[in-house]
Structure 1
Amino acid sequence: MAAAIKALNAKIRSNKYTDYFCSTHFWGPASNFGIPLAAVADMSKDPEIISGRMTGALTIYSAVFMRYAMAVTPKNYLLFGCHFINCASQITQGYRYLSYWNFGGREQAMKAKEITGGMAEKAMEKAKDVVGK
């Protein structure tokens, strides 16, 4: 059995593409891509739920690992790409957070809700009048 596993490993390692596909240089970043995908998906959500501390921590984390991806031998471009996307997404989330909490975005959102809330109430009253007639 050990000889069969050794032969299979030698067969995988003899081809550079299967060797890369079976390495941590591929599977580490591939499994890590969930973080930037979640960050991109969160961009359509309300900025009120963004955690400023977590966004800052993830930005620094991704910047450090972008540097690490270029420092290892051989360079891991897939890991670099994963953390580049995450860093860019987190910076965007950080901008949304600051814009909402520090630069008047919250007040604008509240005014917009008041305006649309009033319009919705008027529409409901009109609908009740139409149904009542």
Structure 2
Amino acid sequence: MAAFFKAVNAKIRSNPALSYLCSTHFWGPASNFGIPIAAVMDAQKSPELISGQMTFALTIYSATFMRYALAVTPKNYLLFLCHFINEGSQLTQGYRYLQWHHWGGREKAGVHGAVEEAKEKAAAVGDKIKEVASK
């Protein structure tokens, strides 16, 4: 049985394309592509949902592993591409976060006033409910 597995492994390793597909140089970045895909999808959501700390951490993480992907031998261009896309996505999210929370995006969108208005309406409705319930 061990001889069979040795023969199959030798056959796989003799073909460069199959050898690459069966290596961690392929499956590591392939499984890691969920992070940049999620970041790209999050670009469609409201900027008030963005975590500034997490975005900063993921920006540093991607920059570090972009460097690592080119430092290993052989160079792992798929890993570099994965983190390059994630770096761009996180920088975009970081800009959206700063725009929304620190550069007046919330005020320009009128959300702050709308939230206060909704709170006032909810309080008025609560008062009316109390009036009706007390009768």
Q: Calculate the TM-score normalised by the size of structure 2.
A: 0.82
The sequence identity of aligned pairs, in percent, is 70
Q: How many residues align?
A: 115
Structure 2: any 5+ residue segments left out of the alignment? 118-135
Q: CA deviation at 1:64?
A: 0.1
CA change 1:111–1:22 in 2 (3 A) is closer
CA change 1:55–1:111 in 2 (3 A) is closer
CA change 1:69–1:101 in 2 (3 A) is same
Name the structure 2 match of 1:7: 7
CA change 1:111–1:13 in 2 (3 A) is closer
Distance 1:112 1:17 in 2: 56
Distance 2:111 2:23 in 1: 53
Q: Calculate the TM-score normalised by the size of structure 1.
A: 0.83
Alignment of 1:8-87 (within 5 A): 8-87=8-87
Name the structure 2 match of 1:131: none
Q: What is the letter of the counterpart of residue 49 of structure 1?
A: L
Q: CA deviation at 1:72?
A: 0.1
Distance 2:39 2:104 in 1: 23
Distance 2:92 2:9 in 1: 43
